[in-house]
Structure 1
Amino acid sequence: MGVKGFVEGGIASIVAGCSTHPLDLIKVRMQLQGESPAPAPALRPALAVPGSAVAMPHPPPAPRRPGPIAVGARILRAEGPAGLFSGVSATVLRQTLYSTTRMGLYDVLKTKWSGGEGGAAAAALPLHKKITAGLIAGAVGAAVGNPADVAMVRMQADGRLPAAERRNYQGVGDAIGRMVRQEGVGSLWRGSALTVNRAMIVTASQLATYDQAKEAILGKGLLPDGLPTHVAASFAAGLVAAAASNPVDVVKTRVMNMKVEKGAPPPYAGALDCAMKTVRAEGPMALYKGFIPTVSRQGPFTVVLFVTLEQVRSLLKDF
């Protein structure tokens, strides 16, 4: 069961990651909105106040930030259809390292702790043990996959920069190689604490919710064990995972994407510093930037992930 769980989880994760990559790209671009302070806008012509010689300037209203559809349209206009798949090679590597590890390890822990061989015995595991298995599996998977995660964020964010400032990575191998040469091996694990925290939250909420929702649907006889049950349970899992992980995801994206100039202090001293600067500059709801595309991506991703996983399990059940 051990190796098989890793193979099944890896195949399902790669299919889900590639099919929802454009939504993830839009989410990253939205999370980076407002990060760099814009130059001070020119004031409107002064308006004289009756009875006073002092003119009172009217600052223009703050520009409205584009939503996910507008961001997607902007990417299409500026970078073409291929722009929606910027960093997809890093997504494949990330899913191969991170998701294969977390899915397989979760399966191993769940089966071991249930004392069964998977299936109904593992599904009947108490919720707190499912959550614990998810926390452990997510942490290990994130530590393994962090280099690909950093490369993916940078490749997805590149198109929003002026042409002269872009990194122009040719692929995930080029991205990782240049990071090592220019910034040291440590740069591959930049934001790793955030990646681990996010992965623990996502894995615990996503996998435990799916198992628990599926168990509840089948236990109450609402639906048979088939596609409708898998879709319903996975959609619930995606919604819970998105709500739980979005604040950590925003901070992770910004820390991973920051440019550190030689001899200059980094824009953020760490995760807490990034979170505090973001909240001070943009308000608490900035931590939920990109939430709509996060849900829009996490929902389909989770549905594709678990539906594919169930199909792969069915195909490999005799192996």
Structure 2
Amino acid sequence: MGVKGFVEGGIASIVAGCSTHPLDLIKVRMQLQGESLAAGAGAGAGLRPALAFQPSGSVTVPLHPLPRPGLISVGVQILRSEGPAALFSGISATVLRQTLYSTTRMGLYDMMKKSWSGDNGILPLHRKIAAGLIAGGIGAAVGNPADVAMVRMQADGRLPVAQRRNYKSVVDAISRMVREEGVTSLWRGSSLTVNRAMIVTASQLATYDQAKEAILRRRGAGADGMGTHVAASFAAGIVAAVASNPVDVVKTRVMNMRVGVGEVAPYAGAVDCAVKTVRAEGVMALYKGFIPTVSRQGPFTVVLFVTLEQVRALLKDF
């Protein structure tokens, strides 16, 4: 029972991760916009500042906010400057991340769900949330190295050519991080990854199960088909995106920061990054990339659960 849940969740997660990878890359690029103001010039090389300035006597004062490119603009910008293949930068890291992180969280959640369910097979909402929190935290700790590699590979194209890391693959990324920055760099931002994963897993899986059960109670067991799976998974994607975006922005920035030998890190940690980001760019900076997050989280969650239900149907006799 236990191994089967891991296999089903792993297959569904890899399919969903690969199919929505370009949207995830655009989300990462948007979350890094304006970072130079938050962390100083060293952390945000190659980024456009969020404010235009003009001199006023001996003092430089803000002139007006510069418009930030949106989802479509960022996508077009990447296509023009880096080519279509750039939308799949870091895809090997996505596959490894889904194999480690999502396989673990989906399998553990399935085990706890079956173990904690009552005689009627229904798990109360608070237990679904608890199972999601535990499964997400463990999965994130296992998959953090691939997560760091994925963020860096997706963000590389926004840097000036001379500053790019140019990782050849996720294996190259991880081996170079260990060699150049030490083993601990593989778990940079792990507290954020764990927090985000706990929030995403609890909100995503609990919402899906809760929504699906509500639909089936209303329409009967005969409604357990594609329409119900899509509706429940779309609701789960929206809830997960709203709950996780602020942590995701901070996680992306902490993981992406470049720290040379003897240099001071742009951010001292997650709290420092959040504070600097809010001070420089405002509270809504924590919802940067929200549109692509929803645009990615919605399809990702739909593909994830629809694929999961199909895989379960195929493997039901095993």
Structure 1 residues 60 and 181: alpha-carbon distance in aligned structure 2, compared to 1, 3 A threshold = same
2:197 aligned with 1:199, yes or no? yes
2:83 aligned with 1:84, yes or no? no
- 1:227 corresponding residue in structure 2: 226
- 1:282 corresponding residue in structure 2: 281
- 2:76 corresponding residue in structure 1: 73
SS at match of 2:294: helix
2:16 aligned with 1:13, yes or no? no
2:31 aligned with 1:28, yes or no? no
- 1:175 corresponding residue in structure 2: 173
Deviations 1:65-110 (A, max 9, x none): 0000000000000111100000000000000000000000000001
- Cα displacement (A) at 1:164: 0.3
- 2:65 corresponding residue in structure 1: 62
2:132 aligned with 1:151, yes or no? no
SS at match of 1:276: helix
Distance 1:289 1:15 in 2: 26
SS at match of 1:219: helix
- 2:139 corresponding residue in structure 1: 141
- Cα displacement (A) at 1:56: 11
2:207 aligned with 1:209, yes or no? yes
- Whether contact under 8 Å (2:52, 2:64) holds in the other structure is no
SS at match of 1:61: strand
Structure 1 residues 82 and 183: alpha-carbon distance in aligned structure 2, compared to 1, 3 A threshold = same
- Cα displacement (A) at 1:265: 1.1
Distance 1:201 1:188 in 2: 21
Distance 1:258 1:286 in 2: 17
2:114 corresponds, among 78, 97, 111, to 111
- Whether contact under 8 Å (2:52, 2:65) holds in the other structure is no
Distance 2:61 2:105 in 1: 54
Distance 1:253 1:143 in 2: 16
Amino acid at match of 1:125: L
2:169 aligned with 1:166, yes or no? no
TM-score (norm 1): 0.92
How large is the RMSD of aligned CA atoms in angstroms? 2.0
- 1:312 corresponding residue in structure 2: 311
SS at match of 1:262: coil
Structure 1 residues 41 and 115: alpha-carbon distance in aligned structure 2, compared to 1, 3 A threshold = closer
Structure 1 residues not aligned, in runs of 5+: 47-53
- Cα displacement (A) at 1:43: 3.9
Structure 1 residues 10 and 281: alpha-carbon distance in aligned structure 2, compared to 1, 3 A threshold = same
Deviations 1:185-226 (A, max 9, x none): 000000000000000000000000000000000001177000
Distance 2:213 2:132 in 1: 17
- 2:296 corresponding residue in structure 1: 297
Would you identify which runs of 4 or more consecutive aligned residues in structure 1 move more than 6 Å?
54-59
- Cα displacement (A) at 1:145: 0.1
- 1:189 corresponding residue in structure 2: 187
Structure 2 residues not aligned, in runs of 5+: 38-47
1:126 corresponds, among 109, 124, 127, to 124
TM-score (norm 2): 0.92
Amino acid at match of 1:210: Y
Distance 2:62 2:148 in 1: 38
Deviations 1:236-276 (A, max 9, x none): 00000000000000000000000112112100000000000
Structure 1 residues 57 and 2: alpha-carbon distance in aligned structure 2, compared to 1, 3 A threshold = closer
What percentage of residue pairs aligned between the two structures are identical? 78
Distance 1:242 1:98 in 2: 18
Distance 1:25 1:263 in 2: 30
Structure 1 residues 231 and 56: alpha-carbon distance in aligned structure 2, compared to 1, 3 A threshold = same
